[in-house]
């Protein structure tokens, strides 16, 4: 088996590409893609449980979906349904960012403020700690 560079593995680039998440339109989504996604996430959950870990799924939202609540990705609903059906807790950045000033949170990619909001939402249930927006320091 070929080793993947760490960043490529962490970004799940191949998984997202194969699952059709880079498709410009929902027509790239197939039942086979969703079945593959489910199999991979299920396997990750089992591996995590084997060492008594806890797997969380973080759904990262695009600017258009944050700005317009009704404009969900064709992938968002089935992906989150699969993850929730597997009993994996979901942290949905769409929920975190939607009530904020979208223009301040995106400049091509997430801004530092957006990353801080998402990081807080991830860290709080895991550690009881959140990051302050101004300093980057942690607080309880």
| pTM beyond cutoff 0.75 | no
Render pLDDT for 101-111 as a digit per residue (tens, 0 to 9). Answer: 767 787 778 88
Comparing 103 with 88, which gets the higher pLDDT? 88
CB 29 within 8 A of CB 46: no
Render pLDDT for 9-26 as a digit per residue (tens, 0 to 9). Answer: 555 656 665 565 544 444
Name the pLDDT band for 100 (thresholds 50, 70, 90).
confident
Residue 39's pLDDT is what?
96
Instruction: For residue 19, count CB atoms less than 10 angstroms from its CB and return exposed for 0-12, middle for 13-18, buried for 19 or more.
Output: buried
Residue 4's pLDDT is what?
52
**Angstrom distance (rounded) from CA 74 to CA 4:** 29
> How much is the average pLDDT of 125-129?
70
Q: Where are the domains of the chain?
A: 56-139
Render pLDDT for 31-79 as a digit per residue (tens, 0 to 9). Answer: 888 999 999 999 999 999 999 998 999 888 876 666 655 556 677 889 9
E-strand stretches of 57-111 = 57-59, 90-92, 106-107, 109-110
């Amino acid at each position: 088996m070929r080793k993947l560079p760490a960043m490529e593995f962490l970004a799940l680039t191949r998984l997202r590409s194969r699952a059709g998440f880079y498709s410009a339109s929902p027509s790239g989504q197939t039942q086979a893609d969703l079945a593959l996604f489910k199999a991979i996430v299920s396997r990750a959950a089992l591996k995590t449980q084997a060492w008594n870990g806890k797997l969380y799924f973080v759904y990262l939202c695009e600017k258009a979906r944050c700005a317009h609540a009704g404009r969900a990705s064709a992938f968002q609903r089935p992906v989150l349904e699969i993850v929730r059906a597997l009993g994996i807790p979901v942290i949905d950045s769409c929920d975190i960012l939607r009530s904020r000033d979208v223009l301040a949170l995106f400049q091509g990619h997430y801004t530092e403020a957006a990353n801080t909001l998402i990081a807080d939402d991830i860290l709080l249930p895991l550690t009881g700690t959140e990051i302050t927006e101004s300093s980057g320091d942690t607080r309880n």
